[in-house]
C-alpha cells in the first residue's frame, strides 16, 4: 500500500509516525467486544486495555440502566486509541452490530462446545456481562453462538476481563492466521485507517485543530 501522508507528520517524530503506521497495519475491525451493563468502570477499562493491546479497534458498551465513566487509571489512555460505541439498550446494541454483519458470541456455562469448536465467521462480536449477573437473558436469546470457557477449579467463573482475555487469546490468533494466508496483517477498511491515522497523529500535536486550519490556509495561498 502506498504510504499515507498527513501535514501533521512534520510535527511528529518519525519514530512515532512509524509506530502509528505499524499498529494500524495490524488493527482488526472484524473482531469487536461488547460490554453489557458492566457496573464497574475499572472492569470496562481493563477490557479496553485488553482490546487495544491485542489490536482490536471497536469496543461497544450497552448501558440499559447504568452510567459509566472510563477509569483513566486502569485504562492508561487505551480508550483514546479505540473506537468506542455507546448503546442505550441491549436491543439497540445487537441491532447495530447485526446491521454491520457481526455474529454475536456469548460465553455460557450451559454451552456444549468450546471456542475451538466454533468456526470463526467474517465478523464476530464477543459479549461480556457484569461481574454479578453475567449477560442478560435478552442477550443470550440474541446470541448467534454460545461457548464455554473451560475451567478446572472449584470456582464457576473468571473475572470478566480475564474471561475476555482467554476468549480473545483464541480468536485473535485464528483471525491473524487467516489474514496472513492472504498476505495481510490487519483488516481495517482503508477509509477507517485514514481517519484513525489522522486522529492518532493529532494526539501528539498541541492544538492540532488550530494547526490543521493554519496549514490548510497556507495551502490555499497562491
SS3 letters for 121-168?
CCCEEEEECECCCECCHHHHHHCCEEECCCCCCCCCCCCHHHHHHHHH
Q: Which helix (DSSP H) or strand (DSSP E) does residue 84 occupy?
A: strand 83-87
- Which domains are assigned to the chain? 29-149+156-204 (3.40.1280.10)
Coil, helix or strand at residue 32? strand
For residue 102, the 8-state DSSP code is P
Cell numbers found for residue 121: 465467521
User: For the chain, which ranges sit under pLDDT 50?
Assistant: 1-2, 74, 77, 221-222
**What per-residue confidence (pLDDT) applies to 69?**
58
Would the CA dihedral through 136, 60, 48, 123 be positive or negative? positive
**What per-residue confidence (pLDDT) applies to 71?**
55
**What per-residue confidence (pLDDT) applies to 78?**
60
Distance (Å, whole) CA 127 – CA 137: 13
Q: Are 168 and 31 in contact (CB under 8 A)?
A: yes
pTM higher than the cut 0.85: yes
Widest Cα–Cα separation across the chain = 74
For residue 3, the 8-state DSSP code is P
Amino acid at each position: 500500500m502506498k504510504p499515507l501522508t498527513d501535514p501533521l507528520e512534520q510535527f511528529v517524530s518519525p519514530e512515532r509516525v512509524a509506530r502509528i503506521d505499524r499498529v494500524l497495519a495490524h488493527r482488526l475491525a472484524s473482531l469487536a467486544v461488547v460490554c453489557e451493563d458492566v457496573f464497574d468502570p475499572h472492569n470496562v477499562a481493563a477490557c479496553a486495555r485488553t482490546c487495544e493491546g491485542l489490536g482490536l479497534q471497536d469496543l461497544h458498551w450497552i448501558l440499559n440502566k447504568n452510567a459509566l465513566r472510563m477509569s483513566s487509571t486502569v485504562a492508561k489512555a487505551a480508550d483514546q486509541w479505540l473506537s468506542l460505541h455507546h448503546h442505550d439498550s441491549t436491543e439497540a446494541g445487537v441491532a447495530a452490530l447485526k446491521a454491520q454483519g457481526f455474529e454475536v458470541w456469548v460465553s455460557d456455562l450451559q454451552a456444549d462446545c468450546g471456542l475451538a469448536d466454533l468456526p470463526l465467521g467474517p465478523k464476530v462480536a464477543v459479549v461480556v456481562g457484569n461481574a454479578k449477573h453475567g449477560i442478560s437473558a435478552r442477550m443470550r436469546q440474541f446470541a448467534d453462538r454460545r461457548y464455554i470457557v473451560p475451567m478446572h477449579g472449584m470456582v464457576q467463573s473468571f473475572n470478566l476481563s480475564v474471561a475476555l482475555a482467554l476468549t480473545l487469546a483464541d480468536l485473535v490468533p485464528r483471525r491473524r492466521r487467516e489474514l496472513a494466508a492472504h498476505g495481510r496483517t490487519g483488516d481495517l477498511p482503508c477509509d477507517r485507517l485514514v481517519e484513525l491515522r489522522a486522529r492518532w497523529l493529532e494526539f501528539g500535536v498541541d492544538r492540532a485543530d488550530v494547526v490543521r486550519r493554519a496549514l490548510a490556509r497556507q495551502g490555499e495561498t497562491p
